[in-house]
Amino acid sequence: MFPRDFYEILHIIGIAMLFLAIGGVATHAANGGNKATSQTRGLMGTVHGLGALLILVGGFGMLARIGFAHGTNFPGWLWVKIVVWLVLSAIVLLPYRKPALAKPFIFLLPLLAGVAVYMALYKPF
């Protein structure tokens, strides 16, 4: 098993990759681009998917290293983080399908990140 810091680094790299991909797609769509005109669609899809995977592996790796027991119920703060992860994993599909949402994504993404960070730091429930 790797040390907690290793999983935290994986988690943070995954977050950077995920936000890079979502931001790139949202910016392209906000500037009038679509799937057909995207020259980096495959690359952004790969970066997004790999980022989502690293977030998941890093997050659950950290849970294991801090002593979270297998088979116990997830606390509320962890469920919130899982929902944020699911939203961020699916949201990359929307800018091309609904280009009007591309600009609001640029403001929504930091809010979702803030919710996830708040849950991780303060574990309110």
pLDDT at 114: 97
State residue 55 phi and psi, 5-degree precision.
Answer: -60, -45
How far apart CA 94 and CA 117 sit, in angstroms, is: 24
pLDDT at 115: 97
pLDDT at 105: 83
pLDDT at 106: 83
How far apart CA 14 and CA 70 sit, in angstroms, is: 24
Q: What is the pTM of this model?
A: 0.91
How far apart CA 30 and CA 9 sit, in angstroms, is: 31
Q: Please, are residues 77 and 119 in contact by the beta-carbon 8 Å criterion?
A: yes
How is residue 110 written in tokens? 């930091």
pLDDT per residue as tens digits for the range 35-83 = 899 999 999 999 999 999 999 999 999 999 988 888 889 999 999 999 9
Q: Residue 87 gets which letter from DSSP?
A: H
* Domain carrying residue 78: 4-122
Residues 102-119, mean pLDDT to the nearest whole number: 92
How far apart CA 23 and CA 109 sit, in angstroms, is: 8
Closest CA to 29 of 121, 76, 98, 86: 98
Flag whether pLDDT at 17 surpasses 90: yes
pLDDT at 14: 98
The neighbour count for residue 17, using CB atoms within 10 Å, is: 20
pLDDT per residue as tens digits for the range 86-110 = 999 999 889 999 989 888 888 889 9
Residues 1-30, mean pLDDT to the nearest whole number: 95
**Domain count of the chain?**
1
